[in-house]
Amino acid sequence: MPLFGLLDYFLYPAQWRTFLIYRMIASGGCLILWAVNRSRDWGDQNFYLGLTAFYLVGGIIIKMILDLDSNSLSTPYYAGLNLVFIGFCLLLPVRPSRTFLHTLVLYAIYLTLTLTLNWPSYALIFLANNLFVVATLVIAYVGAHTNMRLRWKEYLLRVDMEGMQAMLREHSNSLEVLVDKKHQALIRKVRELEEQQEVQSKTQKATIFGLAKLADSRDKYTGEHLDRVRILCREIALELGRDDRYRDRIDASFVDNLTDSCSLHDLGKVAIPDDILLKPGPLTAEEYDVIKLHTSIGGEALRDMDEKLGQASFISMGREIALFHHERYDGGGYPNGLKGEEIPLSALIVAIADTYDALTSARCYQPERPHAEAVEIIARERGAHFHPDVVDAFLRIQNRLKERIQRTTKN
């Protein structure tokens, strides 16, 4: 309203000040109504605030039209009335019938006052202007109707969306409860599995210990021998695992299995007669052939257990150790004469650990030898009896092995 006052200045300078007052009254009234509307939520009464503004602005424009000379062409002010109609119909979110009714009322007021107070001299111009007004009313009504349909569709979509959001929240809550239950069930299953694995591990160790004790019961030297071989095998395996060539083959699981399973290497000696097993002097060729059978006997016994337990059981490594720990790297060992990489890595490690402890321990058939002499014998057999890489790993830690064995013996 105030901005259109600039047109008044150029179109009708004589009425400019009066029209400016009219416009300021309309603008001030609209600002007051806007402030009242913002003060709180009036609900359905908001419509009447907008309706008041509509009649206020429309009445001011009608007053301005009536103030002009009836013989003048006041088309711009008819356009102003059209703007009021369009703004009222399109901006207020109410039923088109209500807005259209009030636009008709305001238009009727305009016609009545114009024809009663200031009959137009130019009837055709007056008729043409009013045709524009009527056309504007029709356009405003159609626009209001279309706008209301769009608003109604938007409302329905919003209601549907809110309903879907509520369903999603409910579903999400249900899903969270379900996921939480599944998570708790999974945690329980994991715990049960861990407990089963712990029991299985303890059962494995107990089984190996029990089987090893069978050999221990036949030979008074075997018990301490098994403890020392366990230490030797673990340390050699850890050192060999630092070599890049063996890092993929020797992991924590391999070392743990080797440490436990190496105790089974002499299991087959339970089937060797005492007069041969415990003979204090040198063995004859026939007696030595009987002694060599302990590898096959132990391997076959563990094979039967392994087949009962299934493939890749904890007995598998014990079986290959019992069967192949007397094989030689050059192929001259027993029972199968395997050579080089044909011999399982676990058996190659046990072969050195078993030999070192046999050399450095007093036996019924030989006296105890010094650590340095035992190391020299093993080094001399590098590439012949023993795998070169395993010998190198043994030699790198031989002093540490000596200290570990001495501490274990004292304890």
Q: CB neighbours (10 Å) of residue 290?
A: 16
Averaging pLDDT over each range in 140-144, 264-268, 371-375, which range is the top one? 371-375
Q: Percentage of the chain surpassing pLDDT 70?
A: 86
Tell me how far apart the alpha carbons of residues 96 and 145 are, in angstroms, rounded to a whole number.
Answer: 5
pLDDT band at 135 (very low <50, low <70, confident <90, very high): confident
State residue 340's pLDDT score: 94
State residue 121's pLDDT score: 65
Tell me the three-class secondary structure of the chain, residue by residue.
CCCCHHHHHHHCHHHHHHHHHHHHHHHHHHHHHHHHHHHCCCHHHHHHHHHHHHHHHHHHHHHHHHHCCCCCCCHHHHHHHHHHHHHHHHHCCCCHHHHHHHHHHHHHHHHHHHHHHCCCCCHHHHHHHHHHHHHHHHHHHHHHHHHHHHHHHHHHHHHHHHHHHHHHHHHHHHHHHHHHHHHHHHHHHHHHHHHHHHHHHHHHHHHHHHHHHHHHHHCCCHHHHHHHHHHHHHHHHHHHHCCCCCCCCCCHHHHHHHHHHHHHCCHHHHHCCHHHHCCCCCCCHHHHHHHHHHHHHHHHHHHHHHHHHCCCCCHHHHHHHHHHCCCCCCCCCCCCCCCHHHCCHHHHHHHHHHHHHHHCCCECCECCCCHHHHHHHHHHCECCCECHHHHHHHHHCHHHHHHHHHHHHHC
State residue 383's pLDDT score: 95
Tokens matching residue 190: 């994991």
pLDDT band at 233 (very low <50, low <70, confident <90, very high): very high
State residue 343's pLDDT score: 96
Residue 136 has pLDDT above 90, yes or no: no
State residue 3's pLDDT score: 79
Residue 312 has pLDDT above 60, yes or no: no
- The more confident residue out of 50 and 207 is 50
State residue 44's pLDDT score: 76
Residue 347 has pLDDT above 90, yes or no: yes
pLDDT per residue over 244-300, tens digit each?
999 999 999 999 999 988 888 888 888 888 888 778 878 898 988 998 999 999 889
Residue 105 has pLDDT above 80, yes or no: yes
State residue 174's pLDDT score: 82
Average pLDDT for 207-229: 67
How far is C-alpha 160 from the chain's CA centre?
32
Tell me how far apart the alpha carbons of residues 255 and 109 are, in angstroms, rounded to a whole number.
Answer: 104
Mean pLDDT (the chain, rounded): 83
Residue 143 has pLDDT above 60, yes or no: yes
Q: Which amino acid is at 204?
A: Q
Average pLDDT for 194-223: 64
State residue 192's pLDDT score: 81
Q: What is the pTM of this model?
A: 0.54
Q: Domain spans of the chain?
A: 5-166, 219-410
How many CA atoms lie within 13 Å of 133's alpha carbon, on the beta-carbon side?
23
> What superfamily does domain 219-410 belong to in CATH?
Hypothetical protein af1432 (1.10.3210.10)
Q: Which amino acid is at 302?
A: L
